[in-house]
A and B are shown apart, each in its own frame.
Chain A
Amino acid sequence: MDKSIRVDDSAKNIHAELRHLADSISQIIKGIRVAQEPIADSRNKVPQATKQLEKVTQQTAMATHRVLDMVEAITSREGEIETQIKELRRVLPSTYFRNNSRVKRIVERICVNVSSNQNDAYAIMDALQFQDITSQQVDHAISLLEQVENRLKDVLVGLQLDVGPENDVKRKERAYDPNAHFSNNSNEQSEVDELLNNLTKEKQNN
């Protein structure tokens, strides 16, 4: 008799434990279902973010090309002014500038300004390389976002939840340097000057 009471108590305990376990599992499932929506939502937002970033790259590229074209036109016109001054010096009698010192100073000033404008135009063009560097940085960010998108999908698949419709946007093949950065090293100009000086010396020696 005692034995059957003990078995009965054990069965009741097991039953209570199982019920408790079932309740816990039910709570976990509820929790997962609650998490499904934000996970799926986050996953769906990644393509929107990448699209937006790609748009930024495209727009900065367009603006940069426009500036490059304008700088090109400016340097071309400055080159024309240089040619016209040379022509002026050629057609005027050799004594003209000697006898007109004021005109001579004005022409010299124009030449200096033309040269400064051309140097500034080259500096602008050099600086426009930022677009290439930032587009590599944006590509890196997009690639990281795509990794997040794939991880979120893995989570949904792992929890046997609805993955939702597949994103049918064709992924662009990205080739970028993740460490690309825009440095502004002040030593660079001295290196350039040294390189150009060596080149001039080499030419003179030949």
Chain B
Amino acid sequence: MSRRILVVDDSPTLVKFVSYSLKSSGYEVVGACDGMDALEKVSHLESDIDLVITDLNMPNIDGYELIATLRQNDKFAEVPIIILSSEEGDEDKQKGEKVGATSYLVKPFKSSVLLAEVARLLD
């Protein structure tokens, strides 16, 4: 059974690009346009999410709040979460780590880097 990945970004281009990269490597993808949409979709999913990839700067619910909320849910306590952000500062990385992110990639990134990181976290 293919692994299911939740991709959250307010840029439709990024969701499309990341989704295509993941799908071409055999992953199933659930896309969301912000943190609120992600939480809504997660609450309606019947099967589990194996990994989350999220942006930080998003309207409604941002990436930090999304990660913190997901970590409070037992289902997501151990799920790897990758932050994809154009924020390069250590402060953002530390803040992401503090709320429960597993990994941090800076935009723009190569799809091969993302795929290698996803494989590393899911293996």
A188: chain B residues at CB < 8 Å are: 110, 113
B59: chain A residues at CB < 8 Å are: 173-175
A173: chain B residues at CB < 8 Å are: 59-60
Say yes or no: A68 contacts B87, CB within 8 Å.
Answer: no
Say yes or no: A128 contacts B11, CB within 8 Å.
Answer: no
Tell me, rounded to whole Å, the shortest Cβ–Cβ distance linking A31 to chain B. 43
Say yes or no: B87 contacts A179, CB within 8 Å.
Answer: yes
A130→B108 CA distance, assembly (Å): 8
Tell me, rounded to whole Å, the shortest Cβ–Cβ distance linking B24 to chain A. 7
Say yes or no: A128 contacts B111, CB within 8 Å.
Answer: no
Question: Residue of A at shortest CB range from B58?
Answer: A175
Q: Contact flags (1/0) for A172-194 with B, using CB distance below 8 Å?
A: 01111101111100001101100
B62 interface residue (CB < 8 Å to A): yes
**How many interface residues does B have (CB within 8 Å)?**
34
Say yes or no: A177 contacts B14, CB within 8 Å.
Answer: no
A135→B14 CA distance, assembly (Å): 11
Q: Which of B15-23, B39-47, B70-78, B94-102 contacts A (4 or more CB under 8 A)?
A: B15-23
Question: Residue of A at shortest CB range from B112?
Answer: A192
Say yes or no: A135 contacts B11, CB within 8 Å.
Answer: yes
**How many interface residues does A have (CB within 8 Å)?**
36
A136→B123 CA distance, assembly (Å): 34
Say yes or no: B13 contacts A128, CB within 8 Å.
Answer: yes
Known: A133-B86, A133-B108. A72 touches B57 (CB 8 A): no
Does more than half of chain A's interface fall in helix, strand or loop, or is it mixed?
helix
Interface residue from B20, B113, B119 paired with A68 (Cβ < 8 Å): B20
> Which A29-77 residues have C-beta < 8 A from chain B?
61, 64-65, 68, 72, 75
> Which B102-120 residues have C-beta < 8 A from chain A?
107-113, 116-117, 119-120
Say yes or no: B111 contacts A199, CB within 8 Å.
Answer: no
A124→B94 CA distance, assembly (Å): 32
Question: Residue of B at shortest CB range from A188?
Answer: B110
Tell me, rounded to whole Å, the shortest Cβ–Cβ distance linking A7 to chain B. 72
A10 interface residue (CB < 8 Å to B): no
B12 interface residue (CB < 8 Å to A): yes
Q: Residue among B13, B56, B111 with the most chain A CB within 10 A? A: B13
B48 interface residue (CB < 8 Å to A): no
Question: Residue of B at shortest CB range from A72?
Answer: B20
B37 interface residue (CB < 8 Å to A): no
A111→B88 CA distance, assembly (Å): 39
Known: A136-B86, A188-B113, A192-B112. A180 touches B107 (CB 8 A): yes
Given contacts A65-B16, A133-B108, A175-B58, 16 further A-B contacts (CB under 8 A): A61-B12, A65-B13, A68-B16, A129-B109, A132-B108, A136-B86, A173-B60, A174-B59, A177-B56, A179-B88, A180-B86, A183-B108, A192-B110, A192-B113, A196-B112, A202-B123
